[in-house]
Amino acid sequence: MTNSAPHANTRSRRPETRTETYVSDKHILIRTGGWVGILSGVAILLSSLATAITGSIARPDDPSELADFLADVGSSSYAFHLYGWLGLVGLVLAVPFTYGLFLLVRGALNEAWLGATFMVGGLIVLFPAYILAMLTATRLSPLFDDLGEAATDSIYVVFESFGGIATLLFLLGSVLTFSIAPWLLSVAWLRTGTSPRWIGRLGVFAGVTGLAWAAMLLDDPGLLQLIWAINALANIIWIIAAGATMARFHTTKQPIAT
């Protein structure tokens, strides 16, 4: 009897040890995703600030305005590079952030899974949109200088084609990434009782403003810009705040659903 007791205690501890290791791995992924999410939010914020310069340059309505447009773009090329490269960095960093957030709120599996799927899908769509927008703005100006005004019509066709594709991809990706995804992930945040709850409410608000922004694309441009700015700010604060919460994650306070 004396020899059997330690053997029984050893067998009872093994599942507990495996469980602690399993949770610890997810704990690390959540915290890492949180820190990366903070960096993603900062990159997206700086990219959005660059649009104050890039957005102030009026798009040409016909080939006769192309030369002035490309001249303005050439003098502000740094802003287009900041917008594009920082935007791409923010998109790449948002992937591990999304995975960490999914692990945190997967107790509400349907909303968490759908939200993460829409988020990653939107990021994939936005990636070529940023590249096309950046290349269209920064590469056509040197091309115009090399070919001269004789190629104005041809370059304008290229500008309209690439610009149109980039705009379409940007709109689709924005609806997925900055509207539907934060709304679903924030519903999961609230359903799982994750704190602080204001982050979940903010994400729902970001989702609603994103849908309102998409619904008003053909209406008042001034109101459209205002709603876009509110949506962008809400998403950036949501990403950074959620990331900060994930970075401080403790399994004893917020157990992971398995």
Its domain, for residue 118, covers: 19-247
Rounded-to-10 torsion of CA 123, 125, 127, 133: -140
Residue 256 lies in a domain: no
Residue 9 lies in a domain: no
Burial of 49 (0-12, 13-18, 19+ CB in 10 A): middle
Which residues neighbour 188 within 8 Å (Cβ) at sequence distance 6 or greater? 105, 106, 107, 108, 111, 112, 115
Residue 8 lies in a domain: no
pLDDT band at 219 (very low <50, low <70, confident <90, very high): low
If one counts the domains in the chain, the total is 1
Please compute the mean of the pLDDT values over residues 56-78 and round it to a whole number.
81
Residue 10 lies in a domain: no
pLDDT for 256: 46
pLDDT digits (tens, 9 = 90+) for 2-25: 454 444 444 444 444 444 444 568
Residue 253 lies in a domain: no
pLDDT digits (tens, 9 = 90+) for 71-110: 888 788 888 888 889 999 999 999 999 999 999 999 998 9
Rounded Cα distance, 176 and 120, in Å: 9
Residue 5 lies in a domain: no
Report pTM. 0.82
pLDDT for 22: 44
| Residue owning tokens 């960093």 | 93
3-state secondary structure 131-179: HHHHHHHHHHHHHHHHHCHHHHHHHHHHHHHHHHHHHHHHHHHHHHHHH
Residue 2 lies in a domain: no
Tokens standing for residue 52: 């104050």
Residue 7 lies in a domain: no
